[in-house]
């Protein structure tokens, strides 16, 4: 698979990575065996970057990855694992970027991943009560102690990235980026390029919408994140589905899957980026991985834009509760 460097670390990974949020049950009940099968398939495909977090199933996603690597020791050297901390979920959701909390969160993540080092550690959400410069100083100490290899930030504003980068290079920034979530084009992609920070697109297939699966929100499991997401609720869902049907036809005409075309579009817009579609289905991952080799021409991009023009999606990408903690900048 085509390789992409994470920041200026010298570490290269496949352009298509694997988002492991679903391993923690965010999109319905998880299955350890199915998740392990997806991880095995990832190795076969050259999908070497895994993205997880403490809050994905309250550590379950990390535990599943840790078990797989323990059972398959060679995987430890092949996978470049990123995890995240900074969100407290109990008794109520809040953010904590203090050194005491982040150190405890990181130690727990390392224990579940069954390792003493992760190549990339993200602040999952910024705690506005603590200057980002102080948070970076904490993360630099973790690097010096050998616990993490590089620093990442999630769902932050370009100004936050710029401030953080004055303290230490930020290897990666991840934000939702897809054909129906294009905010990063208004500053973040540009700042990442200028600062040598790799942009990581999460949910590049619109949380399953930009695929060949005909979703029915009424049939989603009770714990599925999308059941309370505005874009999957009526009347917005039906309007979105109608637009996506035209995009599916475009993908079909090109002989590729809808998800692969959607991911390939992110690479065309941000050539040095990494995409981390989330799945625990090996077959879906195999489809997604083909995106790394799809080259879109200016004519292709124009056709896609005609079908799904910027701002086409009905409904906000998050509910008010889901948007809590995401830094807005436009």
Tell me how far apart the alpha carbons of residues 171 and 167 are, in angstroms, rounded to a whole number. 12
Tell me how far apart the alpha carbons of residues 46 and 49 are, in angstroms, rounded to a whole number. 9
| Annotated catalytic residue 27 | no
**Which residues partner with 87 through β-bridges?**
95
Tell me how far apart the alpha carbons of residues 50 and 52 are, in angstroms, rounded to a whole number. 7
Contacts 24+ apart (CB under 8 A), 132-141: 132/160, 132/163, 132/164, 133/163, 133/164, 133/166, 133/167, 135/97, 135/102, 135/164, 136/164, 136/167, 136/168, 137/167, 138/97, 138/98, 138/99, 138/102, 138/103, 139/102, 139/168, 140/167, 140/168, 141/99
Tell me how far apart the alpha carbons of residues 143 and 138 are, in angstroms, rounded to a whole number. 9
Dmax (CA) for the chain in angstroms is 54
Active-site position among 27, 56, 121, 177: 56
Tell me how far apart the alpha carbons of residues 185 and 192 are, in angstroms, rounded to a whole number. 11
Tell me how far apart the alpha carbons of residues 330 and 157 are, in angstroms, rounded to a whole number. 9
Q: For residue 19, give both structure tokens.
A: 């988002």
H or E stretch at 19 = strand 18-19
Q: Which residues are catalytic?
A: 56
């Amino acid at each position: 698979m085509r390789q992409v460097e994470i920041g200026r670390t010298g570490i290269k990974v496949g352009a298509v990575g694997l988002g492991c949020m679903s391993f923690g049950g965010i999109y319905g009940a998880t299955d350890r065996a199915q998740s392990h099968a997806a991880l095995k398939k990832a190795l076969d495909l050259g999908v070497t970057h895994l993205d997880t977090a403490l809050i994905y199933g309250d550590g379950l996603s990390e535990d599943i990855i840790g078990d797989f690597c323990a059972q398959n020791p060679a995987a430890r050297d092949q996978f470049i694992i990123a995890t995240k901390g900074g969100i407290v979920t109990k008794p109520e959701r809040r953010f904590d970027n203090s050194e005491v909390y982040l150190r405890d969160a990181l130690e727990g993540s390392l224990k579940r991943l069954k390792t003493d080092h992760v190549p990339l550690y993200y602040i999952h959400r910024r705690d506005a009560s603590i200057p980002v410069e102080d948070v970076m100083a904490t993360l630099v100490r973790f690097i010096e102690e050998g616990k993490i290899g590089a620093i990442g930030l999630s769902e932050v504003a370009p100004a936050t990235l710029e401030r953080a980068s004055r303290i230490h290079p930020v290897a990666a920034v991840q934000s939702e980026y897809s054909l129906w979530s294009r905010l990063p084009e208004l500053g973040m992609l540009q700042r990442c390029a200028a600062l040598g920070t790799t942009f990581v697109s999460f949910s590049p297939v619109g949380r399953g919408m930009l695929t060949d699966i005909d979703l029915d929100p009424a049939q989603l499991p009770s714990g599925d994140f999308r059941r309370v997401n505005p874009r999957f609720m009526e009347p917005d869902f039906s309007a979105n589905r109608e637009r996506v049907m035209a995009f599916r036809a475009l993908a079909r005409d090109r002989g590729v899957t809808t998800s692969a075309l959607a991911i390939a579009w992110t690479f065309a817009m941000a050539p040095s980026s990494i995409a981390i579609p989330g799945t625990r289905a090996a077959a879906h991952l195999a489809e997604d991985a083909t995106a790394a080799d799809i080259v879109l021409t200016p004519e292709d991009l124009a056709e896609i834009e005609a079908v799904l023009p910027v701002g086409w999606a009905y409904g906000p990408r998050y509910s008010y509760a889901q948007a809590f903690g995401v830094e807005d900048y436009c």
